[in-house]
Structures are given as C-alpha cells and as structure tokens.
Amino acid sequence: MPSPESKKPLHKDAKPAAHGPSLIADFVSRLPLKPGVYRMFDEHGNVLYVGKAKSLKKRVTAYTSYKRHPIRIQRMIRATHDMEFVVCGSETEALLLEASLIKRLKPRYNILLRDDKSFPYILVRKDHPAAQITKHRGKRNIKGDYYGPFASAGAVNRTLDTLQRAFRLRNCSDSIYEARTRPCMLHQIKRCSAPCTGEIELEDYAQLIGDAEDFLTGKSAALRQRLQQQMSDASADLKFEKAAELRDRLHAMSQVSGASGGINPTTFAEGDVIAIHSEGGQSCVQVFFYRAGQNWGNNSYFPRHTKEDETAEVLDAFIAQFYLNKPIPKRIFVNQLLPNKGLLETGLSERAGRNVKISNPARGEKKLLVDRAMKNAQEALARKMAETASQQRLLTDLQKAFDLEEMPNRIEVYDNSHIQGTNAVGAFIVAGVEGFRKKEYRTFNIKDVETEPGDDYGMMREVFRRRFSRLMKDDQLEWPDVVLIDGGKGQLSAVKDTLDELGATEKTTLVAIAKGPERNAGRETFFMPGRAPFTLPQKTPALYYLQRLRDEAHRFAIGTHRAKRKKQMITSPLDGITGIGPGRKKALLAHFGSAKAVKAAAVEDLALVEGVSQKLARQIHDYFNE
C-alpha cells in the first residue's frame, strides 16, 4: 500500500488566490481521468477532507456544482483553500491509501474510526526448551506462535486461565524458570506441570504444548477424541489417577469453549462478525472475533460521522480503517450491503495475501450471529446516548453557573502534586460530553530552576506556560472551553497573568475552585476573572460534577507524583556511572553491602571486586569524589 510520501502529489505548486468552487474548478482543468486520492485544505493548512476516486477529474468536478450539495458539504467547499492529489495504480490502491490518510490525519469532514487500539494475543514462545504461554500486545518480534486477536485483556486472561487448567503450561519468565529448585504453587494446584524441576519430561511437556496449539487452531474435536480414547485406555489398565487427569483436562477444555457464552459457530472456524446500528445521528459498530470455532470476545466502536452519512457508508469506511493494522480473517460477515464491497474484498485480500470474502448472510447460523452483534450494537448505543444525555444536562448546568455563551464541550482541570517541593509534577485531566477523556490526560515534570521548591504559584505558571504555548503554535489541538483550577484567588491570578502574557486569556474561561471552610466538600467557593467570589447551591448535580472533576484531577496528579517518587526510590547512585551495568552494579553491592559503602571505598578496594579493573575503579572513585 502506498504512503502519502511515496508518491509525488500533483499540483502542489499551483496555489490560486481563489478558494471554494472557483479554486476547485481551476484544479479540475488539470486533473487526469485516473484513480487516485485527493485532499482538501483550509486557509491554515489543516486537512478538511480526504477522498478517493475512480477518476480524479470526474469526482472533483462534482464539487464545482456547489448548490447541489447538502449544507455541510457546501461549508467544506467554501472553506477549501488548497488541494493535493495522488494518482494511484488502481481504485483498490486508492481505497487503501484513503483509509490510511484518514486514520493518520483525522480530517474534520471524514467518517472517522475512534478509540482504535491494538488487540492482545496469546503467545506460545518457542525460544526455550520448555515453551512458555503468555499474553502479548504490540509488535510480534518474539519467536513463537501467536493466536488471536482477542477483543480484550479479560478475554485473553480467561482463556489463559482455562488453558492452564487443561494443559498445565508454564507462564513464568525464563529467569524464574532457571532459578526454581522446587515446584511452585501453580504445580500444587494443578495449573502447571513444572518442567522447571523435571516433574515432567521435556518431550511430554512438548506434547502438552502441541495439544494446546491444536485446541487454539480449531482442531479441538480430534483432540477430544484422542484424549477420550486415552482416558478409556488408562481406565481399562487400572491407571485411575491418569484417567482422572485426562478427565479434568477434557472438562477444562469444555469450559474454554463455553467461557464466552452465547453461540459458537459450527459452519466456519475463523471470521469477524460486524454489525452497525444508527440512531439520532450516532452509530455503534459491534465487532465479534471468532477464531478456532470459538468466540474470542467483542468490542463496541462509535465512529465519528454526521447525520447525513448513510449507515452502509459508515460501516464501509469503518472496515477500511479497522483492518489497516490488524490481521484480516478469511470471512467477514456484516449486516449492511456495502457500497464498496468489491473494492474492500480486493484490497483486504491484497493485504492479507489470501482471499478474503465479505458477505451479508440472509439465513442460518451466520445470520443468527450477525443479528446477535446487531442487538449488542443497539444496546451499546442506547447506553452511550443515555450517558451523553446525562452529561449534556450537567454541562448545560455549568453553562448557566459560569454564564457561558455556549455549553462547554471540553473542560481541562489542573492540579499540582509534590512533597515539600520534591518530585513536583503538574497535571491536567479532560472531560466533555462523552465523560472523562483519559487518553488526553497529560502530566508535566516541573523543570524551571527558578521555581522555588513547594512554590505552587510558580509550578502553576510553568504548567500553563508550557501547555498554552503549545496550543498557540498548533492549530490541530483542541482548545478548552473551560479551565478549572484546583485552588483559590492566588492560583487564579497566577494563571491569568501567564495567559495574559501569551495572549490566550480571551480563548478560554478560567475558573478556580477552592475548598470550603475546614476543607468541607459541598461549601466550595468559585473565583472567575471580573466576577465576585460565589458558591453553588449544595447537593446540586452541577456542584457534585465539579467536585468529581476536581477529585479526578487530584487523583491523577498525586498518582503521577507517587510513581515518580517510587521510581526515584529504586534508582541507585551507581546508575549514572559509565561502564557500570546490572552485572557490575550487583557485584559492587554484594561486595560492599550498600551504595553508601561503595561511595566511601578506596580505589584499591574497588579494584578487588570481580569485573572491576583498576581503570574502572579509579573512574568510580572519581565519580563520587571531586
């Protein structure tokens, strides 16, 4: 798949002074009748829209008929001040490039997949004589076999737990494995066969690994038959302990198969079931993962789009973006007739290196699975809309309390944390219509050497200077409608002075929240520039909401501070010495007993430590003694 940098854009140098329909018409005169991708930019260079075309000339020409488009598209056309074009070898190539650019650039007018993340896998490591089974997320750079994806860490953990009961595989690290002298507790409770201490031969353990992999690749029926036969043979030979062990394994395997609840497919082994439900201008896409004939979990997604977008178009765009960085199954079952079904099948097949089929089942088991996903999508969207409505009521209350012109969409809440000035951090959290936006929380290590230890005002000034300087420079970042500061009149004054210096005061509303007398929750005082201090009625939803925001900011700030302090506590003074790695550090501490004793040691004594040369001993001594 091409990247936007791998192909030279057309007409980048041509920048007519006009904008909107006249600018687009000027570009059309020079466009080829070839497939490609186009980008529309506003006056600040921000990407408004990314689109694909079978014929660039014909597709872009449609934008010159300004009045035929809905109001939203007319607004986009008026805002267009520049365009870029990339010619592709095929419409399929254009589809994949379009999806990649949308995912990376997040244009305002595109349907956008949000809350995307990598999925966890089960990894069977093959770089050790006794293979380890573990959970894995991220790049697949460890030697071994990967099984997944699973919808969540919980789905992986449940499967790993039952797999351990069925096959008794080790999950300990190699270092723990090598250090064992007797079986651990997992062996005692029959969760591990303990190859580390020779309780099982490596050949027999390899057979358990093979059985587990058969199960994870959908060969469970043949595996069950084999284990049932072995259980019958063991019982006939009066080996009742062995028969009971095999019985327990079969029982645990049954629990794995039924752990997800609901329907497990019998007509296919590998596939994703994707269903969308739209209501009130919002959509929920539900994705169920089926691998090895088992349900490996499901996830809800809420793509960003407008009320004018058709449900099938939303699902079409979702699938194109969803599989950009994920393994693609052989079958995808959907509940809509996709407008780009053929293109998607071709593009996904090229990426997967094998045939991928998308279908909209009308009957049978597959239809039942799609209907089940659809039902989940309906329920998830209903919950989200209920939560959003409740959140909107709270934000409307804040609008009235703070005399805002509009309901705030983004609230940032700031707090500091330190102990007598040490390990000082500043932090802010973000909240909006959808609740807490935890991916957008940020922390700041206090760096200004002029800030006195424990100077809360100085810390606040540094945090706001760094945060709002970046907001002023980057047009892509979203500005807060309300900034809530945990503090009183002094903190508010320090922040306002800082924003005045940056010229950012008019772009947001500042509010400070001070605790009540004797730090009594419910009697908070609020401070705003140009307004007398005021309170809100007790036991009102708006006051409770503001308390929640403040407490969340405090929790986040103090949690970051504690993590920083803990990291500092486990840092050794020896870590800063060039040439001292984990091995030599361990040898020095074992020889002298503590880092303090190493500091006080003479060069001759340091040179007695194994692995420390005379030159390195001098270097260590000089590090601690000027």
Q: Given this model, what pLDDT does residue 346 score? A: 93
**How do residues 549-564 score in pLDDT, each as one tens digit?**
999 998 888 887 777 6
The residue with greater pLDDT, 572 or 182, is 182
249 and 280 fall within a common domain = no
* pLDDT of 54 over the 80 cut: yes
562 and 578 fall within a common domain = no
Task: State percent of the chain over pLDDT 90.
Answer: 35
* pLDDT of 521 over the 80 cut: no
The pLDDT-based confidence of 138 (bands split at 50, 70, 90) is: confident
Which stretches does DSSP call E strand in 109-231?
A: 121-125, 132-136, 144-147
Show which of 547, 568, 589 is a domain's final residue. 568
154 and 190 fall within a common domain = yes
List, edge to edge, every strand of the sheet that includes 47-53.
Answer: 47-53, 36-41, 82-87
553 and 423 fall within a common domain = yes
416 and 564 fall within a common domain = yes
Using alpha carbons, list the distances in angstroms from residue 29 to 22, 25, 359. Answer: 11, 7, 40
339 and 429 fall within a common domain = no
Using alpha carbons, list the distances in angstroms from residue 456 to 425, 446, 495. Answer: 10, 11, 11
Closest to 496 in 3D by CA, of 529, 469, 466, 532: 529
For the stretch 108-111, contacts whose Cβ atoms lie closer than 8 Å and that sit 24 or more positions apart, written own/partner, are 108/46, 108/47, 108/48, 108/49, 109/40, 109/48, 109/49, 109/72, 109/73, 109/76, 110/49, 110/50, 110/317, 111/303, 111/304, 111/305, 111/309, 111/313, 111/314, 111/317, 111/318
Q: Given this model, what pLDDT does residue 453 score? A: 67
The end-to-end CA distance of the chain, in Å, is 58
Number of structural domains the chain divides into: 5
Q: What is the mean pLDDT of residues 518-534?
A: 81
List, edge to edge, every strand of the sheet that includes 357-359.
Answer: 294-301, 282-291, 271-279, 331-334, 357-359
Q: Are 79 and 42 in contact (CB under 8 A)?
A: yes
**How do residues 304-362 score in pLDDT, each as one tens digit?**
898 888 999 999 999 999 998 888 999 999 999 999 999 999 999 998 999 999 999 99
* pLDDT of 517 over the 70 cut: no
The pLDDT-based confidence of 7 (bands split at 50, 70, 90) is: very low
How far apart CA 535 and CA 505 sit, in angstroms, is 23
- Decide if 3 is inside a domain: no
Which CATH number is 351's domain given? 3.30.420.340
Tokens of 157: 């953990």
556 and 578 fall within a common domain = no
Tokens of 67: 């009045």
Domain that holds residue 86: 21-105
Q: Are 170 and 192 in contact (CB under 8 A)?
A: yes
* SS3 per-residue string spanning 44-113: CCCEEEEEEECCHHHHHHHHHCHHHCCHHHHHHHHHCCEEEEEECCCHHHHHHHHHHHHHHHCCCCCCEC
544 and 602 fall within a common domain = no
How far apart CA 511 and CA 398 sit, in angstroms, is 11
- Decide if 554 is inside a domain: yes
427 and 531 fall within a common domain = yes
**How do residues 82-132 score in pLDDT, each as one tens digit?**
999 999 999 999 998 999 999 888 898 999 887 666 788 899 988 888 999
How far apart CA 6 and CA 508 sit, in angstroms, is 40
